[in-house]
Amino acid sequence: MFMEGPLVEYHPVSLPVDWNGGIAYLDRDGVLNLGSANYVKNVDEVLILKGVSEAIMSLRNAGYRIVIVTNQSPLSRGLLDQKALESIHSHIQDLVGEFDVIMTCPHRTFDGCRCRKPHPGMLNSASELLRGVSHKKLDWWGEKPIPVHPLDLMVGDRKSDMGAGWAVGARLFKVDERVGIPQIIDRIIAGDAGDLFDPGD
Ligand SMILES: [Zn+2]
């Protein structure tokens, strides 16, 4: 069965009407919480990495919108349902702070959807929701696109995260899955250009 997707949890925090900041696109497992080979299937399996709530607060203070983009194929495999997913997400937010949008791709690789990373579908949908614009064109063989906002960034522990971020022109930050976003938060706040990435490699 092909599930509709991505699943969208949209609850933007209120910002000044003239907000013109960047979007921080963050992967979930290995960036905010410890991932698991057996997947995170309930709130008891959520283990937040050290320093994540401080990092989320730093992003917020620096004026970023915060968007979580996560591939969760266990939804399609019947190992996880939407209710459990949403409980996990409220639990994470209770522990580290609020997110503006959470996008979840429920599909498997062979479903050929437009949301599973490295496809940038979830990032583009969130950008549309928050600021009405996104990247329309996808060209893995062309130049890295110009981002909607120069500070847009993607943090992830996998090559598929870097691919999705690259496709929207974001600054790219690859982290160790056991450390997560605290590893590179200072670089983000300092305006670092991010890691080099070639989607053809
Ligand atoms: Zn998908």
- Cα separation values, 66 from 23, 29, 59, 89, 193, Å: 6, 15, 8, 14, 18
How many whole angstroms from 113 Cα to the centroid of ligand 1?
Answer: 5
Instruction: Name residues with Cβ closer than 5 Å to ligand 1, which is an ion.
Output: 5, 105, 107, 113, 115-116
Check 27, 152, 157, 161 and give the catalytic one. Answer: 27
Q: What is the pLDDT of residue 1?
A: 65
Provide the residue range defining the domain that includes 167: 7-189
Asked whether residue 136 is domain-assigned, the answer is: yes
Torsion angle (degrees, nearest 10) of CA 109, 113, 114, 116:
-30
Asked whether residue 200 is domain-assigned, the answer is: no
Asked whether residue 66 is domain-assigned, the answer is: yes
For the domain that residue 81 is a member of, what is the CATH number? 3.40.50.1000
Reply yes or no on whether 29 is catalytic.
Answer: yes
Q: How many domains does the chain have?
A: 1
Check 29, 100, 152, 161 and give the catalytic one. Answer: 29
> For 176-193, what is the mean pLDDT?
98
pLDDT tens figures, 117-145: 999 999 999 999 999 999 878 999 999 99
Asked whether residue 105 is domain-assigned, the answer is: yes
Q: What is the pLDDT of residue 27?
A: 98
Asked whether residue 199 is domain-assigned, the answer is: no
Strand order in the sheet with 65-71: 7-10, 101-105, 65-71, 23-26, 153-156, 171-174
**Model confidence at 170, in pLDDT bands (50, 70, 90)?**
very high
Q: Give dist(CA 88, CA 44) in Å, integer.
A: 9
Output DSSP code: residue 48. B
Record the pTM. Answer: 0.96
In the block, tokens 């890691």 appear at 195
